[in-house]
Structure 1
Amino acid sequence: MRFAPLAPYSPRPRRPRLLAALCLAPLLTGCFAASGDDGDGEGSAAGDGARLRVALAFPPAEHLSPYGADATILSRLGVTEGLTALDANGAAAPALAASWRREDDRTWLFTLRESVFQDGTDVTPAAVAASLTRATLARPAPAALTGVTLTVKAEGGTGVRVTTARPDPVLPLRLSSASLAVLSPKAYAKKGAVDPAGTATGPFELTDVNGATAAVLDRFDDYWGGRAQAPGIDVRFIADGGARANALRTGQVDIAESIPVAQAAGLDADTRRETATTRTASLHLNTRSGVFKNPALRAAARAAVDTAALAEGVYEGHADAGAGIYGPAVTWAASKRVQPTGRAEPATPGGAPVTLATYDNRPELPEVAQVLKQQLEKAGFTVKLEVREYSRLETDALAGKFDAVVGARNSLLDTGDPVSLLASDFTCAGGYNLALLCDKRVDRAVAAAQAVEGPGERQDAAMAAEAAVLGTDAVVPLVHQRIVTGVDDDVRGVLLDPYERTLVGAGTRR
């Protein structure tokens, strides 16, 4: 897929730089994470370094719309921000909002910090309200808003009041989603389109895109968190994992995400960064049509899968065998896990035909699918394997054109809230429901979990809902992944986190 390049970048007069001292205020605990400082004592206002060269695995699939899968491309490159961010412990931290308070069970008031958009206009309450309102009208809805209705209004000179149709105790977490990034009014100038080029708030400004091949970002000097140390970023989208690793080895790029396990050993030890993530690779079985509409055949598929063989064989120990939707990186999950009930008894497949699909942007997935093909065939299924690049697979997968899909999903990517993932991926109204699951018992369990407010109690409710999902055999968790990122030994300040929302920030440099 290719789309027209964005308008060429032309310099414009800059506003006086905002006070970096804002980050010293006690409320702004999120400034450290936002600035990207790696703790070596150098602040983000240091002198110019070299441009960063970054290889990403996933090319834009939706014209860099912030409302879908492309949203994380923008957040990982330091282009977009929301009202809040996630800290290292998965709690909501300040971003464009300096602070917030809950006024009643359905209403929150967020207080904005002083900041500007990349087009030079102020980040005002009216602009924020308009941006978030546009997100609520997007179709399909951003995953972070699955089952949630928001009303956003400006309040005075610095306030944004967000009201939900029902109590939403995790709203500050929800607003940290990359798909709820705040953009200036200029981003919505063209009817039906959203243009993040020059309209976001992050330390780097998107200035040019060459289809699905490359992108150019330049430093945004008026960034509220301080001037970025790198003057810009040159991005290459390289779907092939081996090619990404080779680009790092040969000095063509400085940072390469998602290095294949098979290539990791070939990199110098100083360039490998392994990060435990909340990403789980799973087998999603089409419950709406075809072979796996039958619960007994779904049970047969689940019984055929040997997850330990995948973790030790395909991932060479860089992953843990699937234990549930939430893996070891979700530290509280194991002690709260509930055993699924109501599963069907496995039936004999008798040669039932299965089309199994996956994508090659995450390099281990085709090999996982190949091993699964063998395991399913051994159990008595007849399996056809189809591998595509992700942008050519997603639409067909969500439309139910395959019997089974192998995908990798970060369970806390969209909101940081475990319940929100279940609502998005496994309910009748879910916007990323690869299994096309629509089960009343699951919907009830997820709805019950959404209503719970206390953090510990909400975790308990999430695990009860997880058990309801697993009881349908619509999804088979395969492995919980660790991600290997290739980083040249001259690079400092790379932002690696288990939620995979960040990669490059104001403090990233070489």
Structure 2
Amino acid sequence: MREPCRRLMSGLLLAPLLTGCFSSYDAPASDSAGSGKSGRIRVALAFTPKQNFSPYGEDALHLSKLGVSEGLTKLDANGTAVPALAESWTSEKGGRSWLFTLRDARFQDGSEVTAQAVASSLTHAAEAEPAPAALSGVKLTAEAVGEDRVRIATGAADPVLPQRMSSPSLAVFSPKAYDKQGGVDPAGTATGPFELTRIIGTTAAALDRFDGYWGGRAQAPGIDARFIADGTARANALRSGQVDIAEALPVAQLSSLDKDTVHETNTARATVLYLNTKSGAFADAGLRAAAREAIDTSVIAEDVYEGQAEPAQGLYGPALNPASGKRIEPTGRAEATAPAGRSITIATFTSRPELPEVAQVLQQQLQRAGFKVKLEVRDYARLESDLLAGRFDAAVSSRNMMLDTGDPVSVLSSDFTCDGTYNVSLLCDRTVDRAVADARTVTDAAERQAAVRKAEAAILGTDAVVPLAHLKVVTGIGTSVRGALLDPYERQLVGTGTRR
């Protein structure tokens, strides 16, 4: 088993993140060449597409993981923005705008990546409904400056705009991708090393190598992706040789897999319990406090995750907040009130295999505290709209706190502010909004981390969310595969060097 990375480093404007993991995995040279003759990489992903591969929601991650799409920048292992479609960038007007210089590149339809095409693509993203999570709280405009430069303005200063441009939901597509109704077709219109050529409903997709990729010709001729929501089925597909790479393997399956195929990556992912603050039992802050006090997170980390997780220490945990003495304790929490048999429904999804078991543990703990608890378990594609509409009292979810932009403030904005686009708790608290807004404008790295901790404390003080566990992500990689990407941001699985 590949040893998990343990060294801590700091990005320019980010809280410390576990690094050294964002590298390719190379199987030993003596490994077999694989069972197939074509050399195509067979991948099993955990989440089914929900919006026909629209780049503005969760499907954007599919496009990024499979090497289809990319933005102006990408993140290195330290959380620093580095060049992708943009070669360089400079800040203007005190950080209220940034000028990006584009590299020489082509779209998969053969057209040139021009400043006008990039500005148009980003404008479409800024006008999308709902807005991409990476733009939560940000009013973005983009304009072409000559043939190879793009000016991106945000009104207020945005010191992490280069990191924001790395978000999969802000990937760049050719003008042919957009229709008059606001739809986006990513097939053959992106810029990555692999071109989406066939979509089979929500079960599979085929991708071929894009030989005109600016970063060099990919070593694999293509990718065959399968979307398998059941974690045991993903593990079985890897075990039987039906796939070469399988993401998010269940902890319960690891002992039955070849140890050389199991690879852990430390990430900023956490399992959390969102409580609906707008309606139902948990609109009462006292009942939210009662739920928090009833939960024993050590049971979840030890029994459910079997040592592949740590009991939660705030939203970010040790990966993003290693100096626990600096954490600000939440204040202003309500006094717990007796549940007195109040009925609640907790929702969760199957794509992250441990979540239903976490929900069952919570059900038992909350019932002992006096709640009556019903569980609702679905595939995520059938659950998300109801979660965001507040149709449940609570939701057990798994969230990478650096996923959208590589900046912790962005997740706080999208998940916990009044205008947040992924606000499962439906929280609208002016103290929280002010704390998040203050953190967004801070440019000094140490001061920004302090502002993030202050905003985190304000959020936890509302009991709108109960952090449960901080996770490692386990990826299955066949021993014939070389160059698979182990990304702490969970944005990439395959690249130009991935082969078998």
Specify whether residues 39 and 160 from structure 1 end up closer, same or farther in structure 2 by C-alpha distance, changes over 3 A only. farther
Match of 1:454 among 440, 444, 447: 444
Partner of 1:70: 59
Partner of 2:15: none
1:169-215 CA-to-partner distances (Å, cap 9, x unmatched) read 11001110000000000100352211000000000000010111000
1:283-303 CA-to-partner distances (Å, cap 9, x unmatched) read 000000000000000000000
Does the aligned pair in 2 maintain the 1:36–1:506 contact within 8 Å? no
Partner of 2:76: 87
Residue type of the alignment partner of 1:98: E
Does the aligned pair in 1 maintain the 2:86–2:103 contact within 8 Å? yes
Deviation at 1:336, TM superposition (A): 3.1
Does the aligned pair in 1 maintain the 2:121–2:172 contact within 8 Å? yes
After TM superposition, list the pairs within 5 Å mapping 1:379-390 onto structure 2.
Answer: 379-390=369-380
Does the aligned pair in 2 maintain the 1:67–1:180 contact within 8 Å? yes
Match of 2:492 among 483, 487, 502: 502
Deviation at 1:53, TM superposition (A): 0.4
Between the aligned residues of both structures, percent identity stands at 64
Partner of 2:219: 229
Match of 1:484 among 449, 474, 487: 474
- Under a length normalisation based on structure 1, what TM-score does the superposition of the two structures give? 0.90
Unaligned runs of 5+ in 1: 1-32, 43-47
Specify whether residues 187 and 474 from structure 1 end up closer, same or farther in structure 2 by C-alpha distance, changes over 3 A only. same
Specify whether residues 107 and 339 from structure 1 end up closer, same or farther in structure 2 by C-alpha distance, changes over 3 A only. same
Match of 1:357 among 344, 347, 364: 347
Specify whether residues 329 and 203 from structure 1 end up closer, same or farther in structure 2 by C-alpha distance, changes over 3 A only. same
Q: Distance in 2 between matches of 1:40 and 1:73?
A: 24
Q: Distance in 1 between matches of 2:52 and 2:325?
A: 42
Specify whether residues 189 and 36 from structure 1 end up closer, same or farther in structure 2 by C-alpha distance, changes over 3 A only. farther
Deviation at 1:157, TM superposition (A): 2.1
Partner of 2:336: 346
- For the residue of structure 1 that corresponds to 2:320, the secondary structure is coil
Residue type of the alignment partner of 2:71: G
Q: Distance in 2 between matches of 1:284 and 1:375?
A: 16
Does the aligned pair in 1 maintain the 2:27–2:479 contact within 8 Å? no
1:445-478 CA-to-partner distances (Å, cap 9, x unmatched) read 1111112111211111011000000000000000
Does the aligned pair in 1 maintain the 2:196–2:208 contact within 8 Å? yes
Q: Count the aligned residue pairs.
A: 472
Asked if residue 320 in structure 1 is aligned to residue 310 in structure 2, the reply is: yes
Partner of 2:406: 416
Match of 2:382 among 380, 385, 392: 392
Partner of 1:137: 127
- For the residue of structure 1 that corresponds to 2:162, the secondary structure is helix
- Under a length normalisation based on structure 2, what TM-score does the superposition of the two structures give? 0.92
Of 89-98 and 330-339, more deviation after overlay is shown by 330-339
- For the residue of structure 1 that corresponds to 2:71, the secondary structure is coil
Specify whether residues 52 and 335 from structure 1 end up closer, same or farther in structure 2 by C-alpha distance, changes over 3 A only. farther
Partner of 1:216: 206
Q: Distance in 2 between matches of 1:446 and 1:342?
A: 17
1:16-37 CA-to-partner distances (Å, cap 9, x unmatched) read xxxxxxxxxxxxxxxxx9x986
Match of 1:252 among 229, 242, 247: 242
Partner of 1:29: none
Does the aligned pair in 1 maintain the 2:118–2:172 contact within 8 Å? yes
Q: Distance in 1 between matches of 2:49 and 2:158?
A: 31
Deviation at 1:428, TM superposition (A): 0.3
Asked if residue 265 in structure 1 is aligned to residue 255 in structure 2, the reply is: yes
Deviation at 1:347, TM superposition (A): 0.7
Asked if residue 159 in structure 1 is aligned to residue 149 in structure 2, the reply is: yes
Deviation at 1:265, TM superposition (A): 1.2
- For the residue of structure 2 that corresponds to 1:329, the secondary structure is helix
Does the aligned pair in 2 maintain the 1:326–1:333 contact within 8 Å? no
Partner of 2:173: 183
Specify whether residues 41 and 121 from structure 1 end up closer, same or farther in structure 2 by C-alpha distance, changes over 3 A only. farther
Partner of 1:50: 39
Deviation at 1:230, TM superposition (A): 0.3
Deviation at 1:355, TM superposition (A): 0.5
Does the aligned pair in 2 maintain the 1:36–1:508 contact within 8 Å? no
Does the aligned pair in 1 maintain the 2:104–2:214 contact within 8 Å? yes
Does the aligned pair in 1 maintain the 2:26–2:482 contact within 8 Å? no
Partner of 2:233: 243
1:355-375 CA-to-partner distances (Å, cap 9, x unmatched) read 000000000000000000000
Specify whether residues 39 and 366 from structure 1 end up closer, same or farther in structure 2 by C-alpha distance, changes over 3 A only. closer
Deviation at 1:49, TM superposition (A): 6.5
Asked if residue 296 in structure 1 is aligned to residue 290 in structure 2, the reply is: no
Partner of 1:443: 433
- For the residue of structure 2 that corresponds to 1:85, the secondary structure is strand
Specify whether residues 335 and 509 from structure 1 end up closer, same or farther in structure 2 by C-alpha distance, changes over 3 A only. farther
After TM superposition, list the pairs within 5 Å mapping 1:116-131 onto structure 2.
Answer: 116-131=106-121
1:337-363 CA-to-partner distances (Å, cap 9, x unmatched) read 110000011111000000000000000
1:255-296 CA-to-partner distances (Å, cap 9, x unmatched) read 010000000111111000011111111000000000000000
- For the residue of structure 1 that corresponds to 2:224, the secondary structure is strand
Unaligned runs of 5+ in 2: 1-19, 30-36
Q: Distance in 2 between matches of 1:160 and 1:38?
A: 35
Partner of 1:18: none
Does the aligned pair in 2 maintain the 1:351–1:382 contact within 8 Å? yes
Does the aligned pair in 2 maintain the 1:215–1:236 contact within 8 Å? yes
Q: Distance in 2 between matches of 1:126 and 1:243?
A: 45
Residue type of the alignment partner of 2:273: L
1:2-50 CA-to-partner distances (Å, cap 9, x unmatched) read xxxxxxxxxxxxxxxxxxxxxxxxxxxxxxx9x98668999xxxxx960
Q: Distance in 1 between matches of 2:408 and 2:233?
A: 34
1:119-166 CA-to-partner distances (Å, cap 9, x unmatched) read 000000000000000000001000000110111011112111111111
Does the aligned pair in 2 maintain the 1:37–1:506 contact within 8 Å? no
- For the residue of structure 2 that corresponds to 1:495, the secondary structure is strand
